[in-house]
C-alpha cells in the first residue's frame, strides 16, 4: 500500500469529495 502523509490524505479526500459533489 502507498504511504501518504496526513496532508496528502486530506488532498486526496477533498479531491474525491469535490468530484462526487460536482
pTM for the model stands at 0.48
State the residue for C-alpha cell 474525491. Answer: 16
Half-sphere exposure of 22 (CA within 13 A, CB side): 6
The answer to whether residues 7 and 15 touch, using CB atoms and an 8 Å cutoff, is: no
Select the more confidently predicted residue: 13 or 20: 13
In this prediction, residue 22 carries a pLDDT of 61
In this prediction, residue 20 carries a pLDDT of 80
Strand (E) or helix (H) holding 18: helix 6-21
List pLDDT tens digits, range 1-18. Answer: 679 899 999 999 999 999
In this prediction, residue 2 carries a pLDDT of 76
Amino acid at each position: 500500500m502507498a504511504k501518504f502523509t496526513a496532508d496528502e490524505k486530506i488532498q486526496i479526500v477533498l479531491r474525491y469529495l469535490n468530484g462526487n459533489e460536482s
